[in-house]
Amino acid sequence: MSAISYMRRALELAELGRGKVSPNPVVGCVIVKEDKIIGEGYHQKYGEAHAEVNAVNSVEDQTDIVGSTVYVTLEPCAHFGKTPPCANLLVDKKVGKVVIAAFDSNPLVGGKGIQILEEAGIEVETGLLQEEARWQNRRFFTQIEKKRPYVILKWAQTQDGFVARSDYSSKWISNSSSRRLVHQWRAEEDAIMVGKNTAKYDDPALNVRDWVGKNPLRLVIDSKLELSQSLKLFDQAVPTICYNTQKTEESGNLEFVKLKPGFSLDQILEDLHNRNIQSLLVEGGSFLLNKFIELGLWDEARIFTSRNKFGEGIKAPLIPKPSSENIPVLEDHLSIHYHV
């Protein structure tokens, strides 16, 4: 196997942590000795062992680690957080070389992990499959570098371009397979948001039901607190934030956050960043989605188009970027657009 093959394996392992490690990045690690993989691991859960630790612990004969080559998708950490520094662990194990895909732009790391390794006499190579590694952790890098969550817009529209009928009813535009895919996405992201009209007319639970995984933090914008407290969003089954201009208050799993009158989405994204929310899935409605698009505050859009036609109703947003991926989901069509 080549060095690229070993790093691709590390990237595959890293993906297994998707939806389980935020606000940490997903990371994979492979340990190689004499052209043979002797250990591998990935960051499995936030607050628990990092990829390098799991890879080291997977090696049957620990003496084999001496002089080995370690392939890791992100620069090993150099600080004491929930766990000890991984860079120090690799030094203690006397590895011979560390190949790193992406430099960690987190100020707590930012080259310090590499420095620890090099000062211990360990050879360090950086940049192997860096583009793929940064893309895999685009949520993490967006939070660190742009000081906001990675924003994913999602909606379903009819073939003639409507997201709802004139009375705001929309169930169901997409098919059951498309809706199951949305539940997978919910389990992979930190938070999910809707506007007032979507909460009022659809009464969504915004939880994970047709997939196995954690529920995202639920967010709703209700400026004047006009929504009924009997809606599913206020059932306290899942941690929920209601952004408004009237009050700040906490009650169990429900938090009201007061913003200044005339607040912008930037203020909400700043609040989410301060809460270590790494990614945000925006599921509607049309007004809110258009506002994110208008302000350029989006990174990805996922659009289901069904064969249904409404003839008239609430128009679907228009995304200013061509689709990068086009995927059939039974009779639905999924297009994915990236704001890059």
Domain enclosing residue 15, as ranges: 3-142
Q: Is 129 helix (H, G, I), strand (E, B) or coil?
A: coil
77 is in an annotated binding site: yes
How many domains, in total, are found in the chain? 2
Residue 191 and residue 120 share a domain: no
Structure tokens at 5: 């093959």
Does residue 186 have a known ligand-binding role? yes
Q: Is the torsion defined by CA of 35, 41, 42, 46 positive or negative?
A: negative
pLDDT at position 80, please? 73
CATH of the domain at 123: 3.40.140.10
Output the average pLDDT for the chain: 95
Is residue 170 annotated as involved in ligand binding? yes
Same domain assignment for residues 199 and 334 = yes
Among residues 142, 169, 197, the one where a domain terminates is: 142
The share of the chain scoring above pLDDT 90, in percent, equals: 93
The tens digit of pLDDT for each residue in 23-33 reads 999 999 999 99
> Is 90 exceeded by the pLDDT of residue 81?
no
Dihedrals phi, psi of 91, to nearest 5 degrees:
-65, -45
- Among 12, 34, 48, 52, which one carries the catalytic annotation? 52
Count CB-CB contacts under 10 A for residue 9.
18
| Antiparallel, parallel or unpaired: β 314-315 and 162-164 | antiparallel
Instruction: Identify the pLDDT of residue 167.
Output: 87
Residue 83 confidence (pLDDT) above 90: no
pLDDT confidence band for 259 (50 / 70 / 90)? very high
Q: Are 206 and 241 in contact (CB under 8 A)?
A: no
Q: Are residues 162 and 190 both part of a single domain?
A: yes
Average pLDDT (175-191) is 97
How many residues in total does the chain contain? 340
**Is residue 122 domain-shared with residue 158, that is, in the same domain?**
no
**Is residue 206 part of an annotated ligand binding site?**
yes
Is position 198 annotated in a ligand binding site? yes
- Residue 156 counted as an annotated binding residue: yes
**How far is Cα 24 from Cα 52, in angstroms, rounded to an integer?**
14
Q: Is 52 noted as a catalytic residue in this protein?
A: yes
Whole-number Å distance between alpha carbons of 287 and 281: 15
pLDDT band, residue 1 (cuts 50/70/90) = confident
